[in-house]
Structure 1
Amino acid sequence: MRSLALKFTLAFLVVSLSGIGVVAILAGRATADEFGHFIFSENREALAAQLEDYYRAYRNWDGVDAALSPGGMGGMMGNGPMHGAMMGGGFAVADASGRVVAAGVGHRLGERLSETDLAQGTPLRINEELVGTLIAGQSAFGMMSPAGTEFLARVNRALLLGVIGVGGAALILGLVLASALTRPLRELTNAARAIARGQFEQKVRVRSRDELGELAGAFNQMSADLARARDLRREMTADIAHDLRTPLSVILGHAEALRDGVLPPTPETFGLIHDETLHLNRLVEDLRTLSLAEAGELKLVRRPTAPSALLEHAVAAQTPRAQQQNVELRTEIEPGLPEVDVDPDRMAQVLNNLLDNALRHTPAGGVVSVQLSVISRQSPVASRQSHARSPDTKLTTDDWLLITVKDSGLGIASEDLPRIFDRFYRADKSRARDRSFASAQEGGSGLGLAIAKSIVEGHGGRIWAESQPGTGAQFFIELPAAKP
């Protein structure tokens, strides 16, 4: 049984038939019991009426036992109650004093009945005077009449037809429900097979808000992400080819010119070839770093490091460039900062990347600021702003270092902000490709911020960005403070 629809249908059918079958059996038994009780009550009342007529006619109970015997009054009644009483035998008639004057099986003539037995019987009255008591059980009237048996048979047939009808309805409803339940699964299966063939632009219909609807929505999101990742990788391949081709073309062109004697072998020519070779080496190193980070094999040589030293080194490296661009480079370092357990070289790479991005997108006369502060991770504003601390404040293991890099450029568009740390993502695709892989905010090939994110997360921290278009961008890094 491989079809899920068939399994659903059979399960629904079995449950429905089991339920209605139990109900039908209970209903049949209850009907038979109640009908038997009804017939018994009717016969008992009729027999009591005939006994009262007998007493009214003879003014005593003499001969009543013979009247209920074959050939007597009971025999002359044919199929009447007194004939049934005679046939069943499970009865007794007592006079006003409680003495048995007629008896079937289980009683004897002349026996005195107890008050309990008399209380359970049917009183026989003439003009409101108690003249006797009829004691009759279910067996007093023998077999049920053919009409009663036929009635119960009709009831049982009706119940059986009801079970069959409900079973048919359950089968049809089960097929409908199974089809409705498995249709989204079939669509998901077909779409998944199409994705396996490389057709990522698959979208299934979200038919409901239940778990199947959530599954369809998650599948659509996965399909869109796969298609976007494919497009980004295609762009990345084109970007890498462009950035590798540029230095290689320069190197090849100058090498051929030197070989042919077109260019003299001057230090300037060799210097240009050397610079392009270094640039090419940086591209290859960035690709290697990203692949190691993706594979979880990026090695970090961690040691307790003063964060102020990291920042001062990165700022010193970017100061000449800031001066050349006429951009003010500010630093704000909170006193009493704890050490952080980091790989200094990798964190320097992250800080240089962020400062390079900030300077790249800050116009002349603008400001790039870097702040170092200590925050508590439990603070509701810990990820938004720093909290001033006095130099003698005792630090705890819950303290985190917050690094903030802010520029006064144009900022990042809101639709690009959630994805700037994605691999190979470039926010502004209309700009010419930059020759540095350090920037993913605009113009770069989209590796710099992805590498920075991997490094920061490898240290147990996190990195994120905030921006309002036209007011610049802010990048935040949280790193756990080293334990004392």
Structure 2
Amino acid sequence: MINKGRRSTKSLPLATRLFFSHLVVMIVGVLTLVIISKLSSPRFFVLHLQQLEKRGYRLFNVRTELVDGFEGAWRRSTIWSVIVGGTAAGGLSFWVSRRIMQGLTEMEKVTQEFAKGRLNARLPMSDIPELNRLGTSFNRMAASLEGVETRRRELIGDMTHELRTPLTVVRGYLEELADGSIEPSPEIYMRLVRETKRLERLVNDLQELSKAEAGYLPINIQPVNIRPLLESIVARFTDQLLEDGPVLQLESPPQLPLVLADIDRTEQVLVNLVGNAVRYTSQGKITIRAWVDDSKLWIAVIDTGMGIAPEDLPHIFERFWRADKSRDRHSGGTGIGLTISRRLVELQGGYIEVASELGVGSTFRFCLPLSLRKMD
């Protein structure tokens, strides 16, 4: 029986609990007032009569009638006070409970809308400070969830679009090979290999980006010397450049201070940036420049390629963004290398910037924090 009573109490709505709580407080207060008044008022009244008799008033013969009359008047006034006060207090308790529950009821409706997938619902501001703070926090959470859902849908749409292109090419060649429309040749097989490699790069980049944005990508921060890495990057890409292509050069002091970085992730960033510069620079030069500014080491990749239009610069680090919608597919890019690079730099405590002029070239630069440890 006790457990059933507890369960029935727990099932009461919050508004009912608030209302009953106010009533209980009111009843306790009224009962305390009545009991104390009942015990003390007649005694104080008798003392007052005695003081009047000392002043010469003859009240001895009517003292009993006066006390009885006082008690009767007190009882009647107490009854009416309890009725009027209880009614007023009950009405006020009901109004306060409704006012407090209004914001919570609206929040319940919004959460139900969220459950139905309508993520643009927001709570109105309340004149109750506590509910107002709760509503503000809820709206921030709702805006964040709506942004996550929007990015998720955009990512799914982008992935579908990016995966469809190489799959369509592969399927087309396979169907033509199967029905004999074209003859097998090394060129066709190499085209199929390139498309499958592009699919593999896209899947790997998506996996890397997903880990980086979720914070699951392992980052091994330690004091490292970047100079040997810069030299190896120059040597690696120089072998890939054609004789009539751009010149790749390094501009850096012979000795660079140690930086706090993950050498493998920094190499990944540089490979992405230099690879983009090589891909979109047909002639001129590509420069890798390093310098120290305050407590940071800056590394810039400067090219004399086609450049980026001003209206495209704000979007350059967004996933799958292309100023020229066809050039990355033609060159084999996945469209998320810069997005990954920005996240990798941020995970190492730095940030990345871009400056470009259409037809002149681009400069991508990022910074890494310096280590307090000196080189041996």
**TM more than 0.5:** yes
* Among 15, 29, 34, the residue aligned to 2:25: 15
Task: State the aligned residue count.
Answer: 354
Q: Which residue of 2 aligns with 1:52?
A: none
Q: What CA deviation, in whole Å up to 9, does each residue of 1:185-207 have, x standing for no partner?
A: 12222221232232323223223
Q: Name the one with the larger helix percent.
A: 2
Is residue 283 from structure 1 mapped to residue 202 from structure 2 by the alignment?
yes
CA distance in 2 between partners of 1:164 and 1:339 (Å): 80
Q: Which residue of 2 aligns with 1:481?
A: 371
Give matches, 1:235-384, under 5 Å: 235-258=154-177, 260=180, 262-263=182-183, 265-266=185-186, 268-293=187-212, 297-299=216-218, 305-314=224-233, 331-332=251-252, 335-338=255-258, 340=260, 342-344=262-264, 346-354=265-273, 370-373=289-292
Is residue 229 from structure 1 mapped to residue 148 from structure 2 by the alignment?
yes
Q: 1:187 to 1:333 in 2, by over 3 A?
A: farther
Does 156-165 or 359-368 show the bigger shift?
Answer: 359-368
Kept in 1, the 8 Å contact 2:297–2:368? The answer is yes
Give matches, 1:446-457, under 5 Å: 447-452=336-341, 455-456=344-345
Report deviation, 1:411.
Answer: 5.7
CA distance in 2 between partners of 1:255 and 1:476 (Å): 44
Q: What CA deviation, in whole Å up to 9, does each residue of 1:154-201 have, x standing for no partner?
A: 234324432332332222122212112112212222221232232323
Kept in 1, the 8 Å contact 2:355–2:364? The answer is no
Q: Which residue of 1 aligns with 2:123?
A: 204
Amino acid at match of 1:180: R
Report deviation, 1:210.
Answer: 2.1
Amino acid at match of 1:40: Q
Q: 1:213 to 1:25 in 2, by over 3 A?
A: same
Amino acid at match of 1:210: P
1:46 partner SS: coil
Report deviation, 1:308.
Answer: 2.2
Q: What CA deviation, in whole Å up to 9, does each residue of 1:35-92 have, x standing for no partner?
A: 3232111112227xxxxxxxxxxxxxxxxxxxxxxxxxxxxxxxx45x66xxxxxxxx
Does 294-303 or 251-260 show the bigger shift?
Answer: 294-303
CA distance in 2 between partners of 1:265 and 1:437 (Å): 21
2:55 partner SS: helix
Q: In terms of Rg, which structure is larger?
A: 1
1:207 partner SS: coil
Q: Which residue of 2 aligns with 1:395?
A: none
CA distance in 2 between partners of 1:334 and 1:160 (Å): 98
* Among 72, 84, 94, the residue aligned to 1:165: 84
2:114 partner SS: helix
What's the TM-score once normalised by structure 2's chain length? Answer: 0.71
Kept in 2, the 8 Å contact 1:232–1:425? The answer is no
Q: 1:146 to 1:358 in 2, by over 3 A?
A: farther
Kept in 1, the 8 Å contact 2:123–2:135? The answer is yes
Q: Which residue of 2 aligns with 1:6?
A: 16
Kept in 2, the 8 Å contact 1:361–1:409? The answer is no
Amino acid at match of 2:340: I
CA distance in 1 between partners of 2:27 and 2:201 (Å): 74
Q: What CA deviation, in whole Å up to 9, does each residue of 1:228-285 have, x standing for no partner?
A: 333322222222222222222333334445552625614x443333322221210011
CA distance in 1 between partners of 2:102 and 2:262 (Å): 53
What's the TM-score once normalised by structure 1's chain length? Answer: 0.57
2:72 partner SS: helix
Gaps of 5+ in 2: 1-8
Gaps of 5+ in 1: 48-79, 85-142, 374-385, 388-399
Q: Which residue of 1 aligns with 2:3?
A: none
Q: Which residue of 1 aligns with 2:349?
A: 462
Kept in 1, the 8 Å contact 2:259–2:369? The answer is no
| Cα RMSD after superposing both structures | 4.6
CA distance in 2 between partners of 1:327 and 1:208 (Å): 67
Q: 1:257 to 1:182 in 2, by over 3 A?
A: same
Q: State the identity as a percent.
A: 26
